[in-house]
Amino acid sequence: MGGVWFTFQKRKIKPERIYWEQLFYGIMLVFAEFSFH
């Protein structure tokens, strides 16, 4: 999962775009955590 996050970090996108993508993936990671437990 860390690799995917790092890939989005390196992307050359507008700051607000990066913010929303990280926010979205952050929420997805939280849901993944709950689903695995």
Give the pLDDT confidence of 6-31 residue by residue, as tens digits.
Answer: 666 666 656 677 788 888 988 998 89
Angle between helices 2-10 and 15-36 (to 10 degrees): 170
Segment 26-37 mean pLDDT: 85
φ/ψ region of 18 (left if φ > 0, alpha if ψ in -120 to 50, else beta) reads alpha
Report the length, in residues, of the chain. Answer: 37
* 10-15-18 Cα angle (round to 5): 55
pLDDT of residue 8: 61
Q: What ranges in 1-37 are assigned the alpha helix state H?
A: 2-10, 15-36
Start-to-end CA distance of the chain, whole Å, equals 17
Q: Which residue ranges make up each domain of the chain? A: 6-36
pLDDT of residue 7: 66
pLDDT of residue 9: 62
pTM for this model (two decimals): 0.43
